[in-house]
Amino acid sequence: MEERSTTTSAAESPEIQNHPPNPPNPPNQIFILSGQSNMAGRGGVVKDHHQNRWVWDKIVPSECSPDSSILRLRADLRWEEAREPLHADIDTGKVCGVGPGMAFANAVRKRSDSDSDVIGLVPCAVGGTAIKEWERGSRLYETMVKRAEESRRHGGEIKAMLWYQGESDVSDIHDAESYGSNMSRLIKNLRHDLSLPSLPIIQVAIASGGGYIDKVREAQLGLKLSNVVCVDAKGLQLKPDNLHLTTEAQVQLGISLAQAYLSNFC
């Protein structure tokens, strides 16, 4: 399991800075990316044994290539052209690599009916976090809400939240058994606080973590809320740590998330 860093990331800061200037072409389709390390992205993160540190190999698959019509909300609340690693200034306690976000955005963009569509990604994931750390009132939750609110300040519409989390809840039986109720409450609170009662949620059923993983997966796959769908990561290739998805697996997941969004909510 990833350990939480004691570093306070920009994503966890409760203060929202002065509004940045309006981007030339603000996004009109916005997606929140949240959860823990597999959403933040560890694809291509390898150990540099010469310097005894973790580094990103900087290999970007074609499915994750940047596009001028795909933007990312930075930690300082400014829009910029999105590129890997999406969470570099958000999940600052660990080295970030490829996650599912860019593959998702490119797949959705290719299916767009309008050349004027601009996709905005709002990274919020932080590695090593349990679902109880995302309760309403927590630093992580409140920052996610504030970033989401800022993302639509220029008129864009939040289309969905992508959620990949749960590996930190498999070690304790109480955490695993209460996962479903905690997730339901998170979704209801988020929808209420964003005034989006039907906000689509696309969650990922975890593929790693050991312990009581079956109970967490059962809760994820069996969640019965409207406009909530689940994409199963089971079977996707894991890195040697048996916890994080490889770059190739992250691409596959991103495309599967896009297919789930397009088939269920478009």
Please identify which residue in the block is written with the tokens 């800061």.
13
Helix (H) or strand (E) holding 229: strand 228-232
87 an active-site residue?
Answer: no
Mutual angle of helices 213-221 and 179-193, in 10-degree steps: 40
Take residue 78 and report the two structure tokens written for it: 């400014």
Which residues sit opposite 45 in a β-bridge? 56
d(CA 147, CA 253): 24
What CA–CA distance (Å, rounded) separates 247 from 39?
Answer: 12
In the set 9, 34, 37, 151, the catalytic residue is 37
Quickly count: other Cβ atoms within 10 Å of residue 196's Cβ.
18
Q: Is 68 a catalytic residue?
A: no
What tokens were used for 261?
A: 């969004």
Is 37 a known active-site residue?
yes
Query: One of 9, 87, 169, 244 is an active-site residue; which one?
Result: 244
Q: How far apart are CA 122 and CA 115, in angstroms?
A: 21
Does residue 47 sit in helix, strand or coil? Answer: strand
Q: 67 and 195 in contact (C-beta within 8 Å)?
A: no
Catalytic residue (one of 57, 76, 172, 241): 241
Q: Is 126 left (phi over 0), alpha (psi -120 to 50) or beta?
A: beta
**Nearest Cα to Cα of residue 122 among 92, 95, 97, 86:** 86
* Catalytic residue list: 37, 241, 244
